Amino acid sequence: MRSGKDSGPDPADGGRQARLPYCGRFAPSPTGTLHFGSLVAALASYADARAAAGRWLVRIENLDPPREVPGSADRILRALEAFGFAWDGPVLYQSERSTLYREVCEDLKRQGLAYVCSCSRKQIAARAPSGIEGPIYPGSCRRAGLVDRTGRALRLLTQEQAIDFDDRIQGPLRQRVQSEFGDFVIRRADGPFAYQLAVVVDDWQQGVNQVVRGCDLLHSSTRQIHLQRCLGAPRPGYAHLPLVLDRQGRKLSKSSADQPLDPANPLPALRAAWGFLDQPDPPAQIERLDEFWDWALANWTLARIRRTPD
Ligand code: GLU
């Protein structure tokens, strides 16, 4: 693994990655059933990959056992099949990858890029200014040299240097990870590896070079790019989709009862998801799933998707 200390100015990996054969993915967390919002993310990531003659992987992000709803991963996979999605290779389960995540954490610690933190939520809340995604960790344990043990978190050392990237839908974004988010958790104090760590390691190891996902993760991208640099991993291209909101203006969650999907009757939901993504109406005579997909993959245009207003 290459040290991130010499990563220097932005290597603009996104451009290089875009010239490789396309590899995309859909990475649901198994916290409920597939709902309309996740159908939109699945559809966009699938159409974008297949329209580019690329690969499309499915990864179940089940890092957090207490949040996992039993049977949910299988229900999501069966629903994807019923909606006509066909993924490449076996489904990857993050719960089976702890050894790899642990090795990556050990490497980062050895290189001085990650450190042990014993701060409680309460201590952080008392000292930390609030940022766009909660408290900005003030680095209290950065130089404490604490021993790694149960009950302590692992944080990634961040830098003040700005990170820029150009989202294919949302346009350019520039953030300073240290002052806007702070040194962030890569392994939680209660044990599980953090989403930010696992998503970067898996996208890298699986060869994913295009990430298409909901806009709720737009602000995670700069932390993920920072971690990619620390690991010497290439940067994928990013496209963040507009979010499907419920009547109260909240993001749909898999556990919410809003807009349940009927896998026995997939076309109306697929048409609605297609329309939500600003794609032109499929011809009215399309009645079968295979006809929809043939037409959709020939007509997919990511550039039509509207940017989410600030
Ligand atoms: N597992 C995340 C979710 O279900 C998606 C992660 C990603 O696409 O990077 O919202």
**Domain membership flag for residue 251:** yes
Q: Name residue, tokens 């993001």.
A: 251
Name every residue whose Cβ is closer than 8 Å to that of residue 103 and which is 6 or more positions away in sequence: none
Query: pLDDT digit string (tens) for 22-56?
Result: 999 999 999 988 999 999 999 999 999 999 999 99
CA of 29 to the centre of ligand 1 (A): 6
In a domain, 187, yes or no: yes
Q: Would you say residue 4 lies in a domain? A: no
Atom number of ligand 1 nearest to Cα 28: 4
User: Residue 26 CA: which ligand 1 atom is closest?
Assistant: 8
Pick from 33, 40, 61, 77 the residue to mutate for probing ligand 1's pocket: most ligand atoms within 8 Å of its CB. Answer: 61
Q: Are 61 and 29 in contact (CB under 8 A)?
A: yes
User: What is the rounded end-to-end Cα distance, in angstroms, of the chain?
Assistant: 37
Q: How many domains does the chain have?
A: 1
Pocket of ligand 1 (CB under 6 A): 27-29, 61, 199, 213, 217
| Dihedral (Cα; 17, 26, 306, 49), 10-degree rounding | 50
| pLDDT tens, position by position, 75-134 | 999 999 999 999 999 999 999 999 999 999 999 999 999 999 999 999 998 999 999 999
Confidence label for 10 from pLDDT (cuts 50, 70 and 90) = very low
pLDDT at 5 over 70: no
Going from the Cα of 146 to the center of ligand 1, the distance in angstroms, rounded, reads 31
Residue 309 included in any domain: no
Atom of ligand 1 minimally distant from the CA of 61: 1
CA of 27 to the centre of ligand 1 (A): 5
Which ligand 1 atom minimizes the distance to the CA of 38? 4
- Interval 168-177: pLDDT, tens: 999 999 999 9
- Phi, psi at residue 211, to the nearest 5°? -110, 120
pLDDT for 11 beyond 90: no
What pTM was estimated for this model as a whole? 0.92
Q: Is 3 inside any structural domain?
A: no
pLDDT tens sequence across 282-302: 999 999 999 999 999 999 999
What pLDDT shows up at residue 36?
Answer: 93
Question: For residue 5, is it within any domain?
Answer: no
Q: Is residue 213 part of a domain?
A: yes
Residue nearest to atom 7 of ligand 1 (CA): 27
CATH code (residue 191): 3.40.50.620
Higher local confidence (pLDDT), 125 or 167: 167
Domain that residue 282 falls in: 14-304
Sheet with 92-93, edge to edge strand ranges: 23-26, 55-60, 92-93
Residue 2 lies in a domain: no
